[in-house]
Amino acid sequence: MLKTLFCCFLGLILSVHAFAIELQGELSQGALIRGKAPVGSQVWLDGKSLAVSEQGYFVFGFGRDAALEHELSWQAPEQPKQQQDIILKKREYDVQRIEGLPPKMVTPPEDVLARIRLDNQQVAKARALRDSRIDFMQSFIWPAEGPISGVYGSQRVLNGQPKRPHFGLDVAAPTGTPVYAPAAGVVTLWVPDMYYSGGTMIIDHGHGVSSTFLHLHAGHVKVGEQVEQGQLVAEIGATGRVTGAHLDWRMNWQNQRVDPALLVPARPSE
């Protein structure tokens, strides 16, 4: 099963003997890095212990503006502890400046702030799961078909006020376009009408790795349901604060927002 289920390790191999660990992923800001250690090993990133599965699989990620220097340590059973410096590639992001917008387009009105706080609490609770499943080891697939209309890391400055960076990957497509699970997992959130993100779904892939889908028109699975890779889970919509129908796909490792585009084959942007 492992041969067909899990991604191949074609990346960095740390150490040169039988107790090496293998890493897969681009060493850059925004990356999700998946690894394999000898069974029974312990692994640490910057001195903090990582969850390691019974098979030796582990994962960690770096946010948009992560520091460039990190330290990965590991210890196989009855072996001395080893360590390796991890040097990330710095990324450049698109920044757009827009002036002359009405104030209500820049700052939400006071009467919706309580609703926004409730939305944020629900999302935080759904992302708090630290399940031992290793669905994150699958080779991720695109959740929807369509041109890329927005990329990870971009940011707008509205009326001189920097807004939060865009942490998702946008796929433009008509309302009703199918959304499929990019990897297996468990549904931890489905809310059809959040203020900013409209129809919002979160699928947990294990070890703190999760996919979030925003602006959905409809959901086809329930909270607590296990889904398989490629299963229909939702439909693209134009709900929440948007200017047109699209899917905003976001990914997290714990509290680190990572770039989904680094896990799937490249597509042209529009």
CATH of 95-263, one of 3.10.180.10, 2.40.30.10, 3.40.630.10, 2.70.70.10: 2.70.70.10
The pTM (predicted TM-score) of the whole model is 0.88
Give domain limits for the chain: 2-87, 95-263
How many angstroms separate the Cα of 189 from the Cα of each of 18, 119, 233, 241? 42, 11, 12, 19
Distance CA 192, CA 26 (A): 34
**b/e burial code for range 166-181 (CB count within 10 A of at least 16 → b):** bbbbbbbbebebebbb
Q: One fold for both 2-87 and 95-263? A: no
Amino acid found at 64 = R
Residue 200 to residue 28: CA distance in whole angstroms: 28
pLDDT tens per residue across all 270 residues of the chain? 333 334 444 456 665 455 689 999 999 999 999 999 999 999 999 999 999 999 999 999 999 999 999 999 999 999 999 999 999 999 999 877 655 545 555 567 777 888 999 999 999 999 998 989 999 999 999 999 999 999 999 987 766 677 789 999 999 999 999 999 999 999 999 999 999 999 999 999 999 999 999 999 999 999 999 999 999 999 999 999 888 999 999 999 999 999 999 999 988 665
Return the CATH class of domain 2-87.
Answer: mainly beta
Rounded distance, CA 251 to CA 260, Å?
Answer: 6
